[in-house]
Structure formats: C-alpha cells, structure tokens
Amino acid sequence: MSGRIIDLHDWFQTPAGSYLLDWHRTQVDIAVADIFGYHALQLGVPELQGLRANRMPHQWLADDHRPPMDLPPDRRVAFLTDFTALPFPAGSLDLVLLPHTLELSADPHATLREVERVLVPEGRVVICGMNPTSLWGLRQRRGHLYRKLGVDSPFLPDCGEFIGYWRLRDWLRLLSFEVEVGQFGGYRPAVGSAHWLSRFAWMDAVGARWWPIFGAGYFLVAVKRVRGMRLMGPAWKTAPARAAGPVSVVNRHHGVDILNRKND
C-alpha cells in the first residue's frame, strides 16, 4: 500500500479496512440484538452503525469526526469532542458501544471510566479493537521501522494506540466489569488488494481453529457488576410475619410419671 493513511474513517474505505469492518459489524449485530433496555449509545465510527440490530427505544450516536452518513431518522445524533465527559447522568444507559473508540482516545482509561459511570448496574459495554499481536500488527510495526528509512509506510491507520486484548480485559476487571463474550477474527494476511484478500478467504476458517488469538481484530462484551447489590422483588410479595405468643409445652412422659406416682 503506497502512501500513509492517517485517518481511520478513510482507512475503512480500503479493501482491508472494509474487510475488518464487515467482521466487526457482524459480531456487533449478533451481540446487541439480545441486549435489552431503554437507552443505548455508540461512541464514534458511524460507518459501523452498531445499534441497527438493537431494539432499545432511545439510541444515540456520538461522533467527534464528521456527521454520520445514511443514518435512520429515528437515531439521535450528538457531536462530542470529549468522550471522557459524556452528557449523561450516572447510571442512565443500558448499552454503550465502543467501536475502536479507545484506540482513538487521547486517554482510553478515562474514557472507559466514564463509560462505567453512565452505565446502569448490569449494563453492557461492547468493544471492537485491532489486535497488535497479529500479522497485521506485525506489518504495522515493520512499517514504522521502514518508514524511518523511507521504504514503506504503516499498513493500519497511524492515529492512535492499539490496545491488546488481554490488557483491555485487565482494565475492565479493575472497573468491576465481567467479560461475557470475547473473540478474535480476521485471519487473512496483511495485503491491500481486494483480489488477494478474496483469494485468502479460506484462512478465516483455518485461523479460527489453529491460531485463534492472532486475528487482526477482536471483539468483546462486558457487563458492569456492582458488588453488594441484590435484586429485590416487590414489597407486596413479602408476607407480614405473625406475632408469636407464648406456648405452653407439656412433656407427655413427665406427666405420665406424675400420675403413676399418685396411684402408688
């Protein structure tokens, strides 16, 4: 691939970017279809349209790059420049979607903490990311090295920090999230041609079986756990306790002994 791609949105228009975006879109559609609630939010990457398969009545798309294209009219759009300060009350969202959002954030830790704040207990966060420990990540590191010599350029968008899958799981654990779903995908080589990507389509099935953790991208779903929280039923289901009065207890065997003594 000639030239240097800086913008993630432009990179999604390339064959490699479109291939990875399609894989992420498929995983997100499957996951969010079974997540219920009232309020859902997607932060960034409007090309994904990750809430289209979700049935929550109130949905928002927040983007700090440019107006989203071809969105349904019932989707509310917000333009935010800082994902570390979301305009939502604490515990008000049931679902937050982060498609490559942490990679583009200047402070991914603060962004994730803000997501934890606005999520309700048992709320879900869905995250898409690029895997630095993959063939694509290897080519990216080689591109950075060769770029200094003027030989090559980075293969992936050079606009943020790629966060490893296991590193991200550690961050989520520190914020009391529990990972429910985690998987890798995109096992075709780091080639820029649509023709060669198509010819290597067979590697998706082989890679998922033989080198599953080396996919070009990863996807996970985590649920917010609140320690000490217990779900309680309606108050009318609790029957009032009856007052217990004193009850005399007679020892039957002891009474028989007394009668026998009187007869004697």
Q: What is the mean pLDDT of residues 234-258?
A: 51
What per-residue confidence (pLDDT) applies to 97? 97
pTM of the model: 0.78
- pLDDT value of position 29: 96
What integer is the mean pLDDT of 240-246?
54
pLDDT, tens digit (0-9, with 9 covering 90-100), for 71-113 = 555 556 666 778 899 999 999 999 999 999 998 888 999 999 9
Residue 79 confidence (pLDDT): 65
pLDDT in tens, 140-170: 766 554 455 444 556 777 666 789 999 999 9
Amino acid at 259: L
Q: Which residue would you say has higher pLDDT here, 62 or 94?
A: 94
**Residue 177, strand partner residues:** 224
List, as one string, the DSSP characters of 112-159: HHHHHHHEEEEEEEEEEEE-SSSHHHHHHHHHHHHHTTTS---SS--S
Angstrom distances, CA of residue 226 to CA of 89, 91, 178, 219: 17, 11, 10, 23
- Residue-by-residue DSSP string for 32-69: HTT--SSEEEEES-TTT-TTTT---SEEEEEESSS--S
Do 45 and 8 meet the contact criterion of CB atoms below 8 Å apart?
yes
Question: What CATH number has the domain spanning 8-229?
Answer: 3.40.50.150
Tokens describing residue 196: 């060669």
What's the pLDDT at 216? 92
pLDDT at residue 119 in the model = 98
- Euclidean distance between CA atoms 23 and 46, whole angstroms: 15
In tens, the pLDDT along 222-234 reads 999 987 665 555 5
| Phi/psi at 59 (5° precision) | -130, 140
Bridge partners of residue 182, in order along the sequence? 220
Query: How many C-beta neighbours within 10 Å does residue 222 have?
Result: 27
Q: Is the pLDDT score of 258 beyond 60?
A: no
Whole-angstrom Cα distance, residue 98 to residue 92? Answer: 17
